[in-house]
Amino acid sequence: MGKLIGSIGLAVWLACGAGCVAVEQSAVVSLEMSPCEQGFDGVVADCGQLQVYENRSTKTGRIIPINFIRVRAKSGAPSTDAVIELTGGPGAAATVSAAGLINALNFLAMRDYILVDQRGTGGSNPLDCIKYDFEANPETFQDMFVFGMMDAGRIRSCMEELNKRADLTQYTTSIIADDVNDLRAALGYETLTLKGGSYGTTLALEILRRHESNVRAALLLGALPTTMKQTETIARDMEDMLLVLFDDCESNAACSAAYPNFRQDFHDVLAQVRAAPLTLTIPHPITGEPTPVEVRYEKLIIAIRYALYSTQLSAGLPLAIDDAKTGDYARLTQFLPQLIVALGNGVHEGMWASVRCAEEFPFLDEERTRRLSEDTVLGTERLDSGQAICAFWPRGEAAADFHVPVISDVPALVVSGEVDASTPPIAGAEAAKHLSNGRLIVVPKRSHWGLSGEACTDGFIDAFIESASVTDLDVGCLDDFKRPPFTMSDE
């Protein structure tokens, strides 16, 4: 295993296959890397940790790891640049999904690929609060339906534990951006191609702002620029996409014939659950025993909101509502346990709080947020829960220019989903208008989880990564995109 010791205030020279790069005034303490014990089919991968000071300003005190996997280009040719994966949340780790991400990539033929766990996630001093282990603690299966993912009481207890091993003010987007640049230099790359999704696009833009000369190109999937505060519009964005779903069903012959009252039935079902929580019996995931659980309105809305993240999933909502109006909630709640587990185990709540409580909630226009949330199914749940947490969470400092638009001439491809309820096209347009070499592509009839993974979208994404140019991208195939067929009751 190779190891590098950094010297504070001096340039750190690092040996690498493509040459040597100096890291000026970095927060690096050491780099440790060796072949991954876990194998990945058809590729050579190194697993490593970049040890950095938690407090990058003082470069003293606690040292934390930045965990990463570096996958070598299949060509074996030395690279002067690499593609780096910047995951969303905030709070999601990249390396936990390494196998799936690696197998889905085409650009690995010529370029190295880095998956990095942002500080506070995965193997990078994780700020985790909730883990569901039903085998060790079977009773938590019922508990997870009672507590929200961002339950203030649980988060406060978690904060008290995290304070013992982390300075929670040192986990913000600008600090993470500097970690990524240190990792780039430590691995010997002149530049990076940034590949961000959702919150990962916010991080990508901040890297672009702070380290533009070290960025070759930026791919922003579901862009969320630093100038926009997602909580202000989140309820209205969801409402707008629900209205599109209602309209699409009503204009579709099969859907309108099967579910002629979908719009009204939807609101009637939600009104019933708001008035009285559901009591359902669901098989326990470990014991298999029928287990009574309570499903509250807030939990059901979360499930519906995430169904809107995918037009494949939302195609099943009319049928699920049709069942629910007669008292059968099986379809409407079938994914809820998996969703709660995925959010609880996949998002590091402490990192989410450190980012949002420093960069978003102190700057919200509360009056605007509440006004936009009126008469929406989501309401002010996200605002209220976030404010409750940020009232006690240690607040870091957002960079002075954090909410200023990121202006750059680095090639940037911004991809938005036409019916994205989380990062709608208006957010992509806001990011793109400040990028002189940028281009916004809106993918028709696709949402947050449909911006890549199809031959058409992967084709122009791969072409952009190869060329680092937004010109001459073949997007004609998007003209054939349609909403997936609505699910019929006999299917």
Q: What is the pLDDT of residues 245-262, one digit of tens each?
A: 999 999 999 999 999 999
pTM comes to 0.92
Would you state the pLDDT for residue 372? 97
Please give the helix or strand (H or E) that residue 114 lies within, else none. Answer: strand 112-116
Cis peptide before 411 (omega within 30 of 0): no
Mean pLDDT of 38-43: 84
- Tell me, what's the pLDDT at 23? 38
Report residue 105 as tokens: 């990539």
% pLDDT > 90, the chain: 74
pLDDT-wise least confident of 105-119, 171-185, 365-379 = 105-119
**Is 313:487 a contact under the CB 8 Å cutoff?**
no
**Which H or E run includes 231?**
helix 230-250
Mean pLDDT of all residues in 428-445? 98
| 132 touches 140 (CB < 8 A) | yes
Number of helices followed by number of strands (H, E) in the chain? 18, 14
- The amino acid that residue 30 corresponds to is S
Cα–Cα nearest to 489, from 268, 320, 328: 320
Contacts of 131 (CB under 8 A, 6+ apart): 344, 345
What per-residue confidence (pLDDT) applies to 71?
A: 94
What percentage of residues in the chain have a pLDDT greater than 70? 90
Q: Is the pLDDT of residue 491 over 70?
A: no
**pLDDT of amino acid 5:** 36
In terms of C-beta density within 10 A (0-12 exposed, 13-18 middle, 19 or more buried), how is residue 37 classed?
A: exposed
What is the mean pLDDT of the segment spanning 416-435?
Answer: 97
Sequence letter at residue 91:
G
Q: Looking at this protein, which amino acid is placed at residue 441?
A: I
Please tell me the distance from the alpha carbon of residue 356 to that of residue 350, in angstroms, as a whole number. 10
Per-residue model confidence (pLDDT) at position 242 = 97
Q: Which of these ranges, 136-140, 207-211, 461-465, has the smallest mean pLDDT?
A: 136-140
Rounded to 5 degrees, φ, ψ at 57 are -75, -50
- Residue 169 tokens, joined: 């003010």
- Give the Cα-Cα-Cα angle 368, 374, 375 (nearest 5 degrees): 155
Q: Of 226, 179, 233, nearest to 205 (Cα)?
A: 226
Can you give the pLDDT at residue 15?
A: 34
At 147 the pLDDT is: 59
Predicted confidence (pLDDT) per residue in 301-352, tens digit:
988 998 999 999 999 999 999 999 999 998 888 877 777 766 666 789 999 9
Q: Strands 412-417 and 438-443: what pairing?
A: parallel
Of 372, 430, 415, 429, the C-alpha closest to 237 is 372
Q: Note whether 208 and 406 are within 8 A (CB).
A: yes
At position 154, the amino acid (one-letter code) is: R
Distance CA 410, CA 432 (A): 11
Domains by residue range for the chain, with CATH: 2-127+166-227+404-480 (3.40.50.1820)
Closest CA to 343 of 69, 66, 88, 68: 88
Closest CA to 422 of 119, 88, 86: 88
- Using alpha carbons, select from 187, 63, 109, 1 the residue that is nearest to residue 462: 109
Residue 384 pLDDT class (50, 70, 90 cuts): very high
Q: What is the pLDDT of residue 148?
A: 62
What does the pLDDT read at residue 146? 61
DSSP for 307-334? Answer: HTT-HHHHTTHHHHHHHHTTT--HHHHT
- pLDDT of 178 higher than 50: yes
Q: Which helix (H) or strand (E) holds 113?
A: strand 112-116
> Does residue 17 have a pLDDT over 80?
no
Mean pLDDT of the chain: 90
- Quick one: average pLDDT of 136-157? 75
Angle CA(260)–CA(262)–CA(267) in degrees, nearest 5? Answer: 145
The confidence score (pLDDT) of residue 344 equals 65
pLDDT reading at 485 higher than 70 = yes
> How many residues in total does the chain contain?
491
What is the CB neighbour count within 10 angstroms for residue 484?
15
The answer to whether the CB of 131 falls within 8 A of the CB of 101 is: no
> How confident is the model over 207-257, as pLDDT tens digits?
999 999 999 999 999 999 999 999 999 999 999 999 999 999 999 999 999
**pLDDT band for position 104 (cuts 50, 70, 90):** confident
52-100 pLDDT, tens digit each: 999 999 999 999 999 999 999 988 766 789 999 999 999 999 999 888 8
- Degrees (nearest 5) of the Cα angle 475, 202, 458? 25
Least confident of 109-118, 263-272, 283-292, 349-358: 283-292
Name the more confident of 359 and 38.
359
**E strands along 296-445, which residues?**
412-417, 438-443
Cα separations in angstroms, 188 against 67, 112, 301, 462: 17, 12, 46, 23
Rounded Cα distance between 169 and 151, Å, is 20
- pLDDT of 490 reads 62
Residues 6 or more apart whose Cβ sits within 8 Å of residue 56: 27, 170, 175, 178, 179
